[in-house]
Structure 1
Amino acid sequence: MRGASLILLAALALLLACLAFLSLGARGDWGFVLMFRGTRLVALITVASAVALSTMVFQTLAANRILTPAIMGFDALFLLGQSGLVFILSGVGVAMLNPYLKFGLETGVMLVAALALFGALLRRGRGISRMILTGIVFGILFRSLTQLLNRLIAPSEFSVVQSASFAQFTAIPANLTWVAAGGTVLVSAWLIAQHRRLDVMALGREAAMSLGVRYDRQARQMLAAVALLVSVSTALVGPIVFFGLLVSALTHHLARSWRHALLLPLSALVACTVLVASQTLFERVLHLQTSVAVVIEGLGGLVFLAMILRRRKS
């Protein structure tokens, strides 16, 4: 009963945030306003849902609430790809690339790299801990290569790479939004449908296998879904490191439950509400030009430090 009430309240909060985003400061023809802002709203909800669900599932498989999929080096690989494109094609060439081709390349490269890592290290019962450590090492390697390419890029073209270093929620391509939204809906629905298996897998590999769950196979499938969600959201708006951690902390604080039937949809609703409300506050109320991603990432970093310090004290 409490879980249903939380879901209802979170859905109501998201509805209010969406109405404020669509209506505040709206002038002129409402058809144009709703079409323009509605597309951006779909993009915000898509990114927030993808980040929230991927983080919750990854934390369950890793059995650690202070980890996010970003630790696997997805953001570093994305930035390496951006630097590589600018180095090879120049800034003008990158701007002239077909947006569908660019989005497909970025998503495909990150997804293939993630699947190769998961398949190689989870085969034959190798643990997720080794996979996480390997991902950290690859992340450091990708960042080093990115710094090398950035030094070789002409200073006049470095701004293209620099703009891709932060998530951009104000200039999301409308034609890519619906492609990303469709994929995110399908993957998210599949993950939520696996909530019972996730409840069992949260007990650990040995306990889950003793209860009849094919842990390694299920873990590979769910990590593939996580990789797809992270790849789509990163290719759409850019790297987001600490937003998932912020949403996860808020969700666990509100839910106080281990049931993924509650955690997964609640995390998606909380993430969408936070992102849409923050974007509305910055754009419509405060009229600030800075990216809301900087503030959200800062809050997520503070939550990360607070969780680390609280664990040390306990």
Structure 2
Amino acid sequence: MERKRCMTMIKRSTLILLLILACLGFLATSYYLFPTASVPNSYILNLRVKKLLVYLLVALISSFTTVSFQAVTGNRFLTPSVLGLESFYVLMQSLFLAIFWRWSQGVAPRSMTEFLIVMSLQCAFFLSLLPMIKKLLGKGIRLILLICMTLGTLFRSLSTFLQVVMDPNKYDKLQSKLFASLQNVNQEILYLAVGITFVLCSFLYRKGRVLDIFYLGKDNARLLGINVEKEQTQILWFVVILVATSTALVGPLSYLGFILANLTYQMVKDFRHQTLFIVGSLLGYVMLLVVQTLVERVFNFSISVRTMIELGGGLFFFYLLYKERRKL
């Protein structure tokens, strides 16, 4: 009886939290669309609606991928960035501007072409690691993460070398691609990203019950009839494609998923990942909208969204480390 009462309290508290976040999201959306009493013209309104859609996509991807990845790895301090995908993205952009830009006679590829190329190369990079990952999954995820982090360090070192020897004009163009931008997103890319995001997030949502079992540990999951290695590989593929989509769409946002996942764990006392997905996505949407509003209307674009997120993420990371140390 006491257990049922506790579960009811948890569900009620989660429902209240969802209602609060939904109200905050509605208020923030209304203020972003109509900051003054006058109604903006159709062009400005359409532009703002597209930006809101980008914030929603980034929030969904950051929440779903980070929570799923942490469930697979069993570590709440890790994010999908340790797989080296974002470092590989930086290396690709550096290589293009340092070497291939000259061959293309200074003509940049179309947005859709660049988007598909970036996504394909990132997926191909993970595919090349897949045989090794399948072989090492039985020995634990830590060795895989160590190898991926080593590759990420290698990619960052190569990118830094290319940026040092790069022409200053090309370096300026590179920086515009490496800093996450939620402002200028091509419409045809946005619609393709919407399809990819909602399809793969729906798959991860259905995998929520499998992730709940992962919470009990790998051995217990096997005892319950879960093919752990197969499920891990499938979930990692969904995570990789979603992270590649987000990175190709707006650029690297490393700390956002870490902030959303760990804030969600603190706010929701529930192990069910389907609930964590929903709360984390709503929280991410509200956070991005508030931060972007501050950047546009308070700081007048003097700082970027990425700067504010990384500053907050770094402070939050050290806070969690301090909190974990006090438990010891």
Q: 1:22 to 1:296 in 2, by over 3 A?
A: same
Matches of 1:15 and 1:293, distance apart in 2:
23
User: 1:49: which partner in 2?
Assistant: 60
Q: 1:26 to 1:291 in 2, by over 3 A?
A: farther
Q: Could you tell me how far 1:115 is from its partner in structure 2?
A: 3.3
Q: Could you tell me how far 1:117 is from its partner in structure 2?
A: 2.3
Q: Could you tell me how far 1:3 is from its partner in structure 2?
A: 2.3
Matches of 1:137 and 1:291, distance apart in 2:
29
Q: The residue matched to 1:61 in structure 2 has which SS?
A: helix
Matches within 5 A, 1:256-267: 256-267=269-280
User: 2:3: which partner in 1?
Assistant: none
User: CA offsets per residue over residues 80-130 of structure 1, 9 Å max, x none?
Assistant: 000011012338856621111101111111122123324422336232111
Matches within 5 A, 1:169-188: 169-188=182-201
Matches within 5 A, 1:29-108: 29-90=40-101, 96-108=108-120
Q: Could you tell me how far 1:285 is from its partner in structure 2?
A: 4.1
**Conserved? CA contact 1:52–1:244, under 8 Å:** yes
Instruction: State the AA in 2 paired with 1:81.
Output: M
**Conserved? CA contact 1:117–1:131, under 8 Å:** no
Are positions 1:112 and 2:124 aligned together? yes
Q: Kindly, what percent of the aligned residue pairs are identical?
A: 29
Matches of 2:290 and 2:261, distance apart in 1:
17
Q: 1:10 to 1:116 in 2, by over 3 A?
A: farther
User: 1:190: which partner in 2?
Assistant: 203
Matches of 1:250 and 1:134, distance apart in 2:
28
Instruction: State the AA in 1 paired with 2:167.
Output: A
Are positions 1:206 and 2:219 aligned together? yes
Instruction: State the AA in 2 paired with 1:274.
Output: M
Q: The residue matched to 2:300 in structure 1 has which SS?
A: coil
Are positions 1:12 and 2:20 aligned together? no
**Conserved? CA contact 1:86–1:157, under 8 Å:** yes
**Conserved? CA contact 1:111–1:227, under 8 Å:** yes
Q: 1:286 to 1:152 in 2, by over 3 A?
A: closer
Are positions 1:145 and 2:158 aligned together? yes
Q: Could you tell me how far 1:25 is from its partner in structure 2?
A: 4.9
Matches of 1:267 and 1:94, distance apart in 2:
41
Q: 1:86 to 1:93 in 2, by over 3 A?
A: farther
Q: Could you tell me how far 1:233 is from its partner in structure 2?
A: 0.5
**Conserved? CA contact 2:34–2:40, under 8 Å:** no
Name the TM-score, length of structure 2 as normaliser: 0.90
Q: Could you tell me how far 1:17 is from its partner in structure 2?
A: 1.7
Q: 1:94 to 1:132 in 2, by over 3 A?
A: farther
Are positions 1:238 and 2:241 aligned together? no
**Conserved? CA contact 1:234–1:240, under 8 Å:** yes
Structure 2 unaligned runs (5+)?
A: 1-11
Q: 1:54 to 1:26 in 2, by over 3 A?
A: farther
Instruction: State the AA in 2 paired with 1:44.
Output: Y
Q: Could you tell me how far 1:288 is from its partner in structure 2?
A: 3.3
Matches of 1:285 and 1:71, distance apart in 2:
33
Matches of 2:230 and 2:112, distance apart in 1:
32
Q: Could you tell me how far 1:223 is from its partner in structure 2?
A: 0.6
User: 1:131: which partner in 2?
Assistant: 144
Cα RMSD (Å) of the superposition? Answer: 1.9
Matches of 2:180 and 2:40, distance apart in 1:
30
Q: The residue matched to 1:242 in structure 2 has which SS?
A: helix
Instruction: State the AA in 2 paired with 1:131.
Output: I
Matches of 1:206 and 1:119, distance apart in 2:
23
Equivalent of residue 169 in structure 2, options 156, 180, 185: 156
**Conserved? CA contact 2:264–2:279, under 8 Å:** yes
Q: 1:153 to 1:115 in 2, by over 3 A?
A: same
Q: 1:104 to 1:215 in 2, by over 3 A?
A: same
User: 1:270: which partner in 2?
Assistant: 283
**Conserved? CA contact 1:248–1:267, under 8 Å:** yes
Q: The residue matched to 1:212 in structure 2 has which SS?
A: coil
Instruction: State the AA in 2 paired with 1:284.
Output: R
Greater radius of gyration (CA): 2
Matches of 2:155 and 2:217, distance apart in 1:
31
**Conserved? CA contact 2:69–2:80, under 8 Å:** yes
Structure 1 unaligned runs (5+)?
A: none
